A and B are shown apart, each in its own frame.
Chain A
Amino acid sequence: MILLFALMFPLASAFVLLAFRNADAAARAALAAGAVEVLLLATCAWKLRVAGVLEQGRYLRADGLTLFFLINLALIFAVVLVYSTGYLRHVPGGRFSSPRWFYALLFLFLFTMLAAYLSSNLGVLWIAIEATTLASALLVGFYNTEGAVEAGWKYLIMCTVGIAFALFGTIALYLAAVRGGVPAARALDWTALMAASPGLSAARDLLKLAFVFVIVGYGTKIGFVPMHSWLPDAHAEAPAPISAMLSAVLLNCAMYALLRMEAITSHAIGSSFSHTLLLAFGCLSLLAAVFLMIVQRDLKRLLAYSSIEHMGIVALGVGIGGPLGLFGALLHAFNHSLAKTLLFFTTGKVRDTFGTLRIDRIRGMARVLPYTSIVLILGGVALAGLPPFGLFVSEFAILTSAFSGSHYLLAVFMLIAFSIGFGALFYHLQRMLSGEPQAPRGGLKILASETGAICVCGFGLLVLGLHVPPVFQSMVNNAMAVLK
């Protein structure tokens, strides 16, 4: 029952929140609903840790892999919600851009992602992933400026078309399963498919076709190059907390869908085909993203391209495979979500003070905003994969697995790409931090909620960078065991 409660509560909250016309009341109600939801998810996680697998009806199921991503989602959602209550001071009201719509859509967005994580059926998974686009499109266009409307439209069209390819792939997989003797009613069930997958090798070509469509489809949402063009626009034009949600949890959610599909494919026809595709998309994304980072002129677009880079790294980790590669990939997805949330939160303050996020118009930030600058530098260090932060550990694990798997060329390629990414990031950061400040328009005071949200992310990064706690370690191991 707890799964059903945890899933349905955000949906109910979304509708209730629409009734709060007063901004402060809406914020308080959203915080209360968020606290209840986080408690529900924590209970889920606790029960899941004890029982291993939870099932509810025909369509709800949670296992070790779900647990890992659920914790990621719950953590990021909690900090985003707390941060939003302060952030919404800056947002001018409009017909769909009032605080109540913001919170309602945010909870709806949470609901769709939870549905994706908790569904046991690949068809329902597809429906939920498509619903994430629908729920977040209005949030991307929340500011209603020219840029925001354009980004929202592009996001809606590109992701819907992309996801349609994933539906085609899902249908092909369904066909293969039905022809392989799985009863039609259970032929989209993940556990049934995993159990039947060794017997599906007869339909080799069809499974390959299915995986190509699925990786293009879900890859569009993950932001793999060359299907990435919606991502920088949407991340740059959305309000800062939504950028954090998109980058930190939505991309992981799509990656989760791809991981489930990949497990079935590699069980049925061996891992070489799917791993090669993942490596190809990973390399392309990493390479294109680090070069595009050099020429960016907007801080949030810079961060968006860095998301593409890190999703490429995650794909490389999965593609290299082996226990260490997969461990690194999962850990990297988690670490990246913390680092990116932290950095998107700081952009809120930067925009507020300078009135822009154009890198060439921001000068002397180190003097105007000393604390924000420190956070920005630390976030940059974390994002570049330097110690003592978590991304160092996960990137190191992926590199080690590349070397130990004799992928020397790939490892050298990754090292070069990391250095270019590092260079690009700090080139832009130092341009903003140094120089004479040109009379900024002076923003609002930083609230405790914003500081708190940033501190939580930073603390998480530091803990995962210094020493991965045993509890976390066993959680990642359980997640990996599911895919084996």
Chain B
Amino acid sequence: MGLIEFAAAKTLASSAVFLFITVLLIAAAKRINACIVLFAIQCAVITAQIVALAFLHRSVEAFAVAAVVLIVKVVAIPYALLRISRQLKVTPAVVVSTTPGQSVFIVAALILLAFAVVQPYARAFALDSEMLAAATAIVLTGGFLMVSRKKALMQVIGLLVLENGIFLAALTTTFGMPFVIEMGIFFDLLVCVLLMGIFIFRIRETFEHVDVSRLRRLRG
């Protein structure tokens, strides 16, 4: 076994652990900018994983996907989010309805839950149960971030984390979707973040705050 194969195998074996660490840290983070950086790190771990897989499968398409993930998710989206957060000039704190300790505890419970629910599927389809659990845990954490964080920008981050989990699920179960579909999904994601940016600025202009839990005019 060559050194590069060894490195690829090690990357695949250890990336689940790194992903669990990123979701726990995002749950504990107190500042929005820290969350954005952690999201970028999570995407970087996923990129490393795609590169490792691409190398093992000798797939050119997968290298292209890795490049796009690197450009879109590790660089472009975090950069745009950091810019928005700077231009909004609001307090950098993540306003949460749970304390960091409680958040970490809940996310840890979600990870355990993810391990429990994926076991039958992992066994039936001979899949890597750790990666599948990581994907499920990331989806659940994304959902948890969206319901527990009050600022508009944090909801966007929650959504992106959720989408990361789904992407990871596709990667581990079927070695990614067909290339064209994958690109279409990235394009949608990019446009979505752009639109959410526009709406965040409009929320600030019309309401003079970005606390979405205070958007309560429309009910019933």
Q: In the complex the two chains form, what is the Cα distance from A145 to B152 in whole Å?
A: 18
Is A121 part of the binding interface, using a Cβ–Cβ cutoff of 8 Å?
A: yes
A160 touches B192 (CB 8 A): yes
Given A146-B206, A164-B162, A171-B173, do A156 and B220 touch, yes or no (CB 8 Å)? Answer: no
> 0/1 per residue, A80-91, Cβ < 8 Å to B?
000000000000
Cβ of A163 to closest chain B Cβ, rounded Å: 9
B188 touches A149 (CB 8 A): no
> 0/1 per residue, A148-184, Cβ < 8 Å to B?
0111111011001100100110011011001100001
Given A130-B188, A161-B159, A167-B185, do A149 and B220 touch, yes or no (CB 8 Å)? Answer: no
Interface segment out of the listed B14-22, B24-32, B82-90, B176-184 = B176-184
Is A131 part of the binding interface, using a Cβ–Cβ cutoff of 8 Å?
A: yes
Cβ of A323 to closest chain B Cβ, rounded Å: 34
Q: What is the size category of the interface that chain A forms with chain B?
A: 35 or more
Interface segment out of the listed B46-54, B68-76, B194-202 = B194-202
A296 touches B220 (CB 8 A): yes
The interface residues of chain B lying within 8 Å CB-to-CB of A292 are 220
Q: In the complex the two chains form, what is the Cα distance from A161 to B169 in whole Å?
A: 16
A175 touches B173 (CB 8 A): yes
Cβ of A50 to closest chain B Cβ, rounded Å: 30
The interface residues of chain A lying within 8 Å CB-to-CB of B192 are 130, 134, 156, 160
Cβ of B171 to closest chain A Cβ, rounded Å: 10
Interface segment out of the listed A61-69, A136-144, A363-371 = A136-144
**In this complex, what residue of A is CB-closest to B136?**
A168
The interface residues of chain B lying within 8 Å CB-to-CB of A154 are 215, 218
**In this complex, what residue of A is CB-closest to B216?**
A150
B181 touches A124 (CB 8 A): yes
Point out which of B184, B218, B220 has the most chain A C-beta atoms below 10 A from its C-beta.
B218
> 0/1 per residue, A199-241, Cβ < 8 Å to B?
0000001100100000000000000000000001100110000
B199 touches A134 (CB 8 A): no
Is A437 part of the binding interface, using a Cβ–Cβ cutoff of 8 Å?
A: no
Is B67 part of the binding interface, using a Cβ–Cβ cutoff of 8 Å?
A: no
Q: Is the interface of B mostly helix, strand, loop or mixed?
A: helix
The interface residues of chain B lying within 8 Å CB-to-CB of A185 are 178
Is A295 part of the binding interface, using a Cβ–Cβ cutoff of 8 Å?
A: yes
A156 touches B174 (CB 8 A): no
B218 touches A153 (CB 8 A): no
Q: In the complex the two chains form, what is the Cα distance from A124 to B178 in whole Å?
A: 11
The interface residues of chain A lying within 8 Å CB-to-CB of B202 are 141, 144, 149, 152
Given A134-B191, A138-B195, do A153 and B206 touch, yes or no (CB 8 Å)? Answer: no
B218 touches A150 (CB 8 A): yes
Is B3 part of the binding interface, using a Cβ–Cβ cutoff of 8 Å?
A: no
A156 touches B177 (CB 8 A): no
The interface residues of chain B lying within 8 Å CB-to-CB of A301 are 220
The interface residues of chain A lying within 8 Å CB-to-CB of B57 are none
A233 touches B174 (CB 8 A): no
Cβ of A161 to closest chain B Cβ, rounded Å: 6
Within 8 A of B (CB), among A13-61: 59
Given A138-B198, A153-B203, do A127 and B217 touch, yes or no (CB 8 Å)? Answer: no
Cβ of A258 to closest chain B Cβ, rounded Å: 19
Please name the 8 residue pairs, one residue from A and one from B, whose CB atoms are nearest each other, closest first: A123-B181, A127-B184, A233-B218, A150-B215, A171-B170, A130-B188, A175-B173, A149-B202
Can you list 11 residue pairs at the A/B interface with Cβ under 8 Å? A59-B180, A130-B188, A134-B191, A137-B199, A144-B202, A167-B166, A171-B169, A184-B178, A188-B181, A209-B121, A301-B220
- Seed contacts A134-B191, A184-B178; 11 additional CB < 8 Å A-B pairs: A123-B184, A126-B181, A134-B195, A137-B195, A149-B202, A149-B207, A150-B215, A151-B218, A152-B202, A174-B177, A301-B220
Residues of B near any A CB (own CB < 8 A): 120-121, 124-125, 139, 143, 146, 152, 155, 159, 162-163, 166, 169-170, 173-174, 177-178, 180-181, 184-185, 187-188, 191-192, 195-196, 198-199, 202-203, 206-207, 212, 215, 217-218, 220
